[in-house]
Protein backbone atom coordinates (compact mmCIF):
# COMPACT_ATOMS: atom_id res chain seq x y z
CA UNK A 1 0.00 0.00 0.00
CA UNK A 2 1.17 3.59 -0.49
CA UNK A 3 2.89 5.36 2.36
CA UNK A 4 1.06 8.44 3.58
CA UNK A 5 3.24 10.99 5.32
CA UNK A 6 1.65 13.09 8.02
CA UNK A 7 3.79 16.09 8.95
CA UNK A 8 3.14 18.25 11.95
CA UNK A 9 4.66 21.68 12.56
CA UNK A 10 5.67 20.61 16.05
CA UNK A 11 8.28 21.15 18.70
CA UNK A 12 11.36 18.90 18.64
CA UNK A 13 11.13 15.54 20.34
CA UNK A 14 12.45 15.43 23.90
CA UNK A 15 15.78 13.72 24.46
CA UNK A 16 14.61 11.56 27.34
CA UNK A 17 11.79 9.18 27.98
CA UNK A 18 8.76 10.02 30.07
CA UNK A 19 9.37 7.97 33.20
CA UNK A 20 11.25 10.02 35.82
CA UNK A 21 14.68 8.62 36.41
CA UNK A 22 14.38 6.23 33.48
CA UNK A 23 17.79 7.19 32.08
CA UNK A 24 16.60 7.27 28.46
CA UNK A 25 13.70 6.04 26.41
CA UNK A 26 11.58 3.29 27.86
CA UNK A 27 11.88 -0.20 26.34
CA UNK A 28 9.79 -0.92 23.23
CA UNK A 29 7.20 -2.83 25.25
CA UNK A 30 6.09 0.31 27.11
CA UNK A 31 2.83 1.87 25.92
CA UNK A 32 1.31 5.34 25.92
CA UNK A 33 -2.38 5.77 26.69
CA UNK A 34 -3.60 8.63 24.50
CA UNK A 35 -7.09 8.93 25.99
CA UNK A 36 -7.75 8.82 29.74
CA UNK A 37 -9.81 10.86 32.20
CA UNK A 38 -7.29 10.58 35.01
CA UNK A 39 -7.30 14.15 36.35
CA UNK A 40 -9.19 14.17 39.67
CA UNK A 41 -12.44 16.06 40.00
CA UNK A 42 -12.52 17.97 36.71
CA UNK A 43 -15.07 16.13 34.54
CA UNK A 44 -16.87 12.77 34.60
CA UNK A 45 -13.61 10.92 35.18
CA UNK A 46 -11.54 10.33 38.31
CA UNK A 47 -13.45 11.26 41.45
CA UNK A 48 -10.49 12.29 43.58
CA UNK A 49 -6.75 11.90 44.05
CA UNK A 50 -6.88 8.33 45.44
CA UNK A 51 -8.95 7.35 42.39
CA UNK A 52 -6.32 8.89 40.08
CA UNK A 53 -3.52 7.09 41.89
CA UNK A 54 -5.45 3.86 41.50
CA UNK A 55 -5.67 4.50 37.77
CA UNK A 56 -1.93 5.08 37.72
CA UNK A 57 -1.35 1.71 39.36
CA UNK A 58 -3.61 0.04 36.79
CA UNK A 59 -1.51 1.59 34.05
CA UNK A 60 1.76 0.34 35.53
CA UNK A 61 0.33 -3.17 35.87
CA UNK A 62 -0.57 -3.09 32.17
CA UNK A 63 2.82 -1.86 30.96
CA UNK A 64 1.77 1.72 30.27
CA UNK A 65 4.53 4.28 30.83
CA UNK A 66 2.65 7.50 30.06
CA UNK A 67 -0.96 8.68 30.04
CA UNK A 68 -2.44 11.67 28.27
CA UNK A 69 -4.89 13.35 30.60
CA UNK A 70 -7.83 14.17 28.32
CA UNK A 71 -10.58 15.98 30.24
CA UNK A 72 -13.71 16.80 28.26
CA UNK A 73 -13.55 20.16 26.52
CA UNK A 74 -17.22 20.72 25.74
CA UNK A 75 -20.22 22.74 26.87
CA UNK A 76 -21.47 20.34 29.56
CA UNK A 77 -18.16 20.18 31.48
CA UNK A 78 -16.68 23.25 33.15
CA UNK A 79 -13.04 22.38 32.53
CA UNK A 80 -10.74 25.38 32.88
CA UNK A 81 -8.26 24.92 30.07
CA UNK A 82 -5.68 27.23 31.65
CA UNK A 83 -5.62 24.96 34.73
CA UNK A 84 -4.95 21.69 32.91
CA UNK A 85 -1.14 21.96 32.87
CA UNK A 86 -1.00 22.76 36.59
CA UNK A 87 -3.32 19.88 37.43
CA UNK A 88 -1.19 17.52 35.36
CA UNK A 89 1.97 18.56 37.16
CA UNK A 90 0.31 18.29 40.57
CA UNK A 91 -0.80 14.74 39.77
CA UNK A 92 2.69 13.84 38.53
CA UNK A 93 4.14 15.07 41.82
CA UNK A 94 1.83 12.77 43.78
CA UNK A 95 2.52 9.82 41.49
CA UNK A 96 6.24 10.31 42.08
CA UNK A 97 5.71 10.63 45.82
CA UNK A 98 3.75 7.38 45.85
CA UNK A 99 6.40 5.59 43.80
CA UNK A 100 4.02 4.94 40.87
CA UNK A 101 6.22 4.92 37.72
CA UNK A 102 3.84 6.42 35.21
CA UNK A 103 3.89 9.95 33.80
CA UNK A 104 0.81 12.01 32.98
CA UNK A 105 0.99 14.22 29.90
CA UNK A 106 -1.28 17.10 29.02
CA UNK A 107 -4.17 16.77 26.64
CA UNK A 108 -7.91 17.16 26.25
CA UNK A 109 -10.83 15.47 24.55
CA UNK A 110 -12.14 18.35 22.46
CA UNK A 111 -15.72 18.13 21.21
CA UNK A 112 -16.04 18.86 17.52
CA UNK A 113 -18.74 21.39 18.41
CA UNK A 114 -16.28 23.27 20.65
CA UNK A 115 -13.10 23.27 18.60
CA UNK A 116 -13.85 26.30 16.41
CA UNK A 117 -14.55 28.41 19.50
CA UNK A 118 -11.13 27.81 21.05
CA UNK A 119 -8.44 30.40 20.69
CA UNK A 120 -4.97 29.36 19.58
CA UNK A 121 -3.57 29.49 23.11
CA UNK A 122 -6.44 27.37 24.41
CA UNK A 123 -5.99 24.87 21.60
CA UNK A 124 -2.25 24.60 22.25
CA UNK A 125 -2.95 23.86 25.92
CA UNK A 126 -4.99 20.74 25.12
CA UNK A 127 -2.76 19.13 22.50
CA UNK A 128 -1.61 15.60 23.27
CA UNK A 129 1.77 15.84 24.94
CA UNK A 130 4.14 18.32 23.31
CA UNK A 131 2.92 17.81 19.76
CA UNK A 132 0.17 19.38 17.67
CA UNK A 133 -2.42 16.59 17.71
CA UNK A 134 -5.91 17.24 19.07
CA UNK A 135 -8.05 14.37 20.35
CA UNK A 136 -11.32 15.23 18.62
CA UNK A 137 -14.64 13.88 19.92
CA UNK A 138 -17.32 13.51 17.22
CA UNK A 139 -20.80 14.82 17.89
CA UNK A 140 -23.35 12.19 18.99
CA UNK A 141 -24.96 10.11 16.28
CA UNK A 142 -23.70 8.92 12.90
CA UNK A 143 -20.63 10.61 11.47
CA UNK A 144 -21.41 13.40 9.03
CA UNK A 145 -19.69 16.11 7.03
CA UNK A 146 -19.39 18.41 10.04
CA UNK A 147 -16.54 16.31 11.45
CA UNK A 148 -14.67 16.50 8.16
CA UNK A 149 -15.02 20.29 8.26
CA UNK A 150 -13.59 20.39 11.80
CA UNK A 151 -10.62 18.25 10.72
CA UNK A 152 -9.99 20.73 7.89
CA UNK A 153 -10.35 23.61 10.37
CA UNK A 154 -7.66 22.12 12.60
CA UNK A 155 -5.38 21.54 9.63
CA UNK A 156 -5.71 25.17 8.61
CA UNK A 157 -4.57 26.12 12.12
CA UNK A 158 -1.52 23.85 11.99
CA UNK A 159 -2.96 20.98 14.00
CA UNK A 160 -3.89 17.38 13.26
CA UNK A 161 -6.95 15.51 14.47
CA UNK A 162 -6.98 12.18 16.27
CA UNK A 163 -10.59 10.99 16.08
CA UNK A 164 -11.82 9.45 19.35
CA UNK A 165 -13.90 6.29 19.79
CA UNK A 166 -15.38 5.63 16.33
CA UNK A 167 -17.26 2.70 17.90
CA UNK A 168 -19.95 5.09 19.08
CA UNK A 169 -20.94 6.22 15.60
CA UNK A 170 -22.24 3.21 13.74
CA UNK A 171 -23.90 3.81 10.39
CA UNK A 172 -24.17 2.16 6.99
CA UNK A 173 -21.49 4.43 5.53
CA UNK A 174 -19.26 4.64 8.62
CA UNK A 175 -16.27 2.95 6.98
CA UNK A 176 -16.39 5.33 4.01
CA UNK A 177 -16.69 8.36 6.27
CA UNK A 178 -13.73 7.27 8.42
CA UNK A 179 -11.72 6.66 5.26
CA UNK A 180 -12.51 10.23 4.14
CA UNK A 181 -11.30 11.58 7.50
CA UNK A 182 -8.05 9.65 7.12
CA UNK A 183 -7.71 11.00 3.61
CA UNK A 184 -8.00 14.49 5.09
CA UNK A 185 -5.06 13.83 7.44
CA UNK A 186 -6.77 12.53 10.56
CA UNK A 187 -5.89 9.40 12.48
CA UNK A 188 -8.32 7.24 14.45
CA UNK A 189 -8.09 6.18 18.11
CA UNK A 190 -10.25 3.29 19.26
CA UNK A 191 -11.16 2.31 22.82
CA UNK A 192 -9.16 -0.77 23.81
CA UNK A 193 -11.82 -2.34 26.01
CA UNK A 194 -14.28 -2.56 23.13
CA UNK A 195 -12.13 -5.25 21.49
CA UNK A 196 -12.73 -7.53 24.47
CA UNK A 197 -16.52 -7.60 24.79
CA UNK A 198 -19.47 -8.35 22.58
CA UNK A 199 -21.47 -6.91 20.93
CA UNK A 200 -18.65 -4.48 20.12
CA UNK A 201 -15.70 -6.81 19.42
CA UNK A 202 -16.84 -7.95 15.96
CA UNK A 203 -17.36 -4.38 14.75
CA UNK A 204 -14.03 -3.26 16.17
CA UNK A 205 -12.26 -6.14 14.46
CA UNK A 206 -13.91 -5.16 11.17
CA UNK A 207 -12.68 -1.58 11.55
CA UNK A 208 -9.15 -2.79 12.24
CA UNK A 209 -9.22 -5.21 9.29
CA UNK A 210 -10.26 -2.33 7.04
CA UNK A 211 -7.26 -0.23 8.12
CA UNK A 212 -9.48 2.30 9.90
CA UNK A 213 -7.86 2.17 13.36
CA UNK A 214 -4.39 3.53 14.05
CA UNK A 215 -3.94 3.70 17.83
CA UNK A 216 -5.71 2.65 21.01
CA UNK A 217 -6.57 4.43 24.24
CA UNK A 218 -8.20 3.24 27.44
CA UNK A 219 -10.79 6.04 27.75
CA UNK A 220 -10.79 5.02 31.42
CA UNK A 221 -12.73 7.18 33.86
CA UNK A 222 -12.11 5.59 37.24
CA UNK A 223 -10.23 2.86 39.08
CA UNK A 224 -13.46 1.89 40.88
CA UNK A 225 -15.31 0.47 37.88
CA UNK A 226 -16.03 0.76 34.19
CA UNK A 227 -13.17 0.59 31.72
CA UNK A 228 -9.80 0.11 33.43
CA UNK A 229 -6.54 1.71 32.31
CA UNK A 230 -5.43 -1.19 30.16
CA UNK A 231 -4.60 -1.80 26.51
CA UNK A 232 -2.32 -4.84 26.41
CA UNK A 233 -5.05 -7.44 25.93
CA UNK A 234 -6.61 -5.46 23.09
CA UNK A 235 -3.27 -5.33 21.32
CA UNK A 236 -3.04 -9.10 21.74
CA UNK A 237 -6.38 -9.36 19.94
CA UNK A 238 -5.10 -7.10 17.17
CA UNK A 239 -2.01 -9.28 16.79
CA UNK A 240 -4.30 -12.12 15.70
CA UNK A 241 -5.63 -10.12 12.72
CA UNK A 242 -3.51 -10.99 9.68
CA UNK A 243 -3.75 -7.57 8.05
CA UNK A 244 -2.97 -5.74 11.30
CA UNK A 245 -0.18 -7.87 12.78
CA UNK A 246 2.59 -6.45 10.52
CA UNK A 247 1.77 -2.94 11.78
CA UNK A 248 1.28 -3.73 15.46
CA UNK A 249 4.54 -2.18 16.65
CA UNK A 250 3.72 1.01 14.75
CA UNK A 251 0.24 1.16 16.32
CA UNK A 252 1.37 0.31 19.84
CA UNK A 253 4.63 2.22 20.08
CA UNK A 254 5.75 4.29 17.08
CA UNK A 255 2.58 6.28 16.41
CA UNK A 256 1.65 7.14 20.01
CA UNK A 257 5.18 8.31 20.75
CA UNK A 258 5.34 10.42 17.60
CA UNK A 259 1.96 11.97 18.45
CA UNK A 260 2.98 13.09 21.95
CA UNK A 261 6.50 14.14 20.94
CA UNK A 262 5.48 16.10 17.86
CA UNK A 263 7.59 13.96 15.54
CA UNK A 264 6.99 13.27 11.86
CA UNK A 265 4.70 10.29 11.45
CA UNK A 266 4.63 7.95 8.45
CA UNK A 267 1.39 6.02 8.03
CA UNK A 268 2.34 2.53 6.77
CA UNK A 269 -1.14 1.45 5.67
CA UNK A 270 -4.25 3.00 4.21
CA UNK A 271 -7.98 2.29 4.37
CA UNK A 272 -9.09 -0.90 2.64
CA UNK A 273 -12.59 0.38 1.86
pLDDT at residue number 26: 36
Q: Tell me whether residue 71 is in a domain.
A: yes
Q: Domain range holding 167?
A: 29-267
Report the pLDDT value the prediction gives residue 30, as an integer from 0 to 100: 87
Q: Is residue 89 part of a domain?
A: yes
**How sure is the predictor about 23, in pLDDT bands with cuts at 50, 70 and 90?**
very low
Residue-wise pLDDT tens digits, 175-209: 999 999 999 999 999 999 999 998 889 999 999 99
Q: Which residues contact 16 (CB under 8 A, 6 or more apart)?
A: 22, 24, 25
Overall number of domains in the chain: 1
Considering the domain boundaries, does residue 272 fall inside one?
A: no
Q: Using 50, 70 and 90 to split pLDDT, how confident is the model at 55?
A: very high
- What is the mean predicted confidence (pLDDT) over 243-255? 97
pLDDT in tens, 118-137: 999 999 999 999 999 999 99
In this predicted structure, the answer to whether residue 9 has a pLDDT above a threshold of 70 is no
Contact by Cβ (8 Å): 108, 126? yes
| Residue that wins the pLDDT comparison between 273 and 214 | 214
Output the pLDDT for position 28. Answer: 45
Give the pLDDT of residue 153.
98
Residue 29 binned pLDDT confidence (cut-offs 50, 70, 90): low
Vertex 245: Cα angle to 242 and 249 (nearest 5): 170
Mean residue pLDDT across the chain = 90
**Domain for residue 133, yes or no?**
yes
pLDDT of 100 higher than 60: yes
pLDDT at 80 over 50: yes
Q: How confident is the model at residue 16 (pLDDT cuts 50, 70, 90)?
A: very low
What CATH number should be reported for the domain holding residue 243?
3.20.20.140
Q: Is the pLDDT of residue 15 over 60?
A: no
pLDDT for position 163: 98
pLDDT band (50, 70, 90) for residue 166? confident
Predicted pLDDT at 226 = 95
Residue 4 lies in a domain: no
Q: How confident is the model at residue 168, as a pLDDT?
A: 85
In this predicted model, what pLDDT tens digit does every residue of 61-75 receive, in sequence order? 999 999 999 999 999
Classify residue 213: in a domain, yes or no. Answer: yes
Residue 238, in any domain of the structure: yes
Which range has the top average pLDDT, 24-38, 141-155, 157-171?
141-155
Q: Is residue 7, in this structure, part of any structural domain at all? A: no
Amino acid sequence: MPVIVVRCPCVPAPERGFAPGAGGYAPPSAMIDLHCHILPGVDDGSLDLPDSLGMGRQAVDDGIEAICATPHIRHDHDVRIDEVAGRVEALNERLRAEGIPVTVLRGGEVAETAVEGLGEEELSQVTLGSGRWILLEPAPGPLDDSLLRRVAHLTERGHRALIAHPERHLSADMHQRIAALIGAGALVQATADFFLHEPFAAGMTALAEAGLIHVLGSDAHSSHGGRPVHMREAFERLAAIDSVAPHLEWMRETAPRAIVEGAELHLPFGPAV
